[in-house]
Chains A and B, each alone.
Chain A
Amino acid sequence: MLARRIIPCLDVKDGKVVKGVQFVGHEVLGDAVDMALRYRDEGADELVLYDITASSEGRTVDYNWVRDIARALDIPFCVAGGIRSADQAVKCLNSGADKVSINSPALERPDLINELAEMAGSQCVVVGIDSREMDGDYYVHQYSGDPDKIRQAGRRTLDWVVEARDRGAGEIVLNCMNQDGVRKGYDLKQLRLVRDLLDIPLVASGGAGAPEHFVEVFDQADVSGALAASVFHKKIIHIPELKRDLRQAGIAVRL
């Protein structure tokens, strides 16, 4: 049976995993390769590595660490951050990344999704969406990594997921911003609405605070994977125990 995926997300800067507000005071948590391997050993099914400064520094892709991670890691990983062209995406994939995730650049120029899918295949193309509930509907936000630049993208989330799928996205990561960082659980209602629209994998992001939140999101929103960052980094949730809890709740996981 296909297992539900547990996906730690690592913010990477210059080959180090960092945490903190994006533009001030990064705390270095460790070397990206070491942390990737640690999560692999704990049973992570996949990793997302987010280059947090690529976009803001406006640089082309210089993912030397992508190659280092690909060399060491034997589980799949996705690279995100600052990918604005099909060429840059292909460079990531050629360096050994399994997937690339695009967010704001896809909103600036939706054709980027088509171009990536044509060059690399849909299975390599993840579209990340930052979505916030407002007045009873859900809206896409852009540049959410930068508090000075964040803005509404002028699109309904439920429209954008379908457009992204139609343009060739192979997976959607839906980051529910109302939930992000508060650890009160995933936004089950929004995820379920999006899930019902899709026939490609959906990954939940934003809000995980306890093992039961993962049980809920798989049970009630029927997502393919659940992504989280701080609860894993701060060791609030330990992946081997989380997976035991999930299995006990009758959810298919890889142990």
Chain B
Amino acid sequence: MITVIELGCANTASVLFALERLGVEAHLSSDAAEIAAAKKVVLPGVGAAGFAMNRIHELGLFDVIRSLDVPLLGVCLGQQLLFEGSDEGDVQCLGLIPGRVTRMEASNNFVVPHMGWNQLAVTRDDPLTASVNDGDYAYFVHSFVCPVNECTLATATYGEPFAAMVRKGQVWGCQFHPERSSATGAKILENFVKL
């Protein structure tokens, strides 16, 4: 059973459906006690970091998420929330992964949001990247980026390289949407299910 955190931002349905397609039981929750007792947790998120962090505090989930000792996967904004802070709304995030999320600078050459299918470069062996190959495409939609550091599992490049996948201990993240990344995304979600 996987618990998908419901913050009230849009698009939690597609994560749930992707897990369903893998035959995994999953449910939505914003209940602190339920999430604290979960076996595995996904933190999805679309929208703004400030809004999402406010919801995390309002729901009493800040300490709950920070003290989980089961596998946690942040998806898209969910990955950004794992970092120490974000320039989006100048907000303090969960602090589970070192570094600060910064804005992508838009230009005529590099339009923002970074939207579409981009290639992964795997930088470290990990159960989550098993059977994921360099050059595999994943679907990205974002305007802020996570820094490349010792926690990076895979990078993608749009102007500059950024962290496409991260891990520290029991905490993983994907900047792209595995639930919308076809076979590659399904493989990554399956790897998470098998952890």
Contacts and interface: CB of A to CB of B under 8 A. Distances in A.
A254 B112 contact: no
Contact of A96 (B11, B107, B158): B11
B47 interface: yes
Contacts of B48: 121
Contact of A200 (B10, B21, B111, B158): B111
Given A67-B13, A71-B17, A199-B107, A98 B141 contact: yes
B75 to A, nearest CB: 13
Interface stretch (B55-63, B65-73, B176-184): B176-184
Interface stretch (B113-121, B124-132, B146-154): B113-121
Given A123-B143, A199-B106, A2 B114 contact: yes
A45 interface: yes
A74 interface: yes
B172 interface: no
B170 interface: no
B115 A1 contact: no
A191 interface: no
A96 B17 contact: yes
Interface size class of B (residues with CB under 8 A): 35 or more
Interface string A71-103: 110111000000000000010011110100000
Nearest to B118: A2
Given A93-B11, A94-B13, A123 B142 contact: yes
Interface string B1-34: 0000000001111100110110000000000000
Interface in A45-60: 45-46
B64 interface: no
A3 B46 contact: no
Given A74-B179, A76-B180, 13 more contacts: A3-B117, A5-B116, A74-B21, A93-B10, A94-B12, A96-B13, A96-B17, A120-B10, A121-B46, A122-B143, A198-B111, A200-B113, A202-B111
Interface of A: 1-5, 40, 45-46, 67, 70-72, 74-76, 90, 93-96, 98, 119-124, 170-171, 196, 198-202, 224-225, 254
Question: What 8 A-B pairs have minimum CB-CB distances, sorted nearest first?
Answer: A93-B10, A199-B106, A96-B13, A3-B117, A254-B117, A254-B137, A123-B141, A96-B14
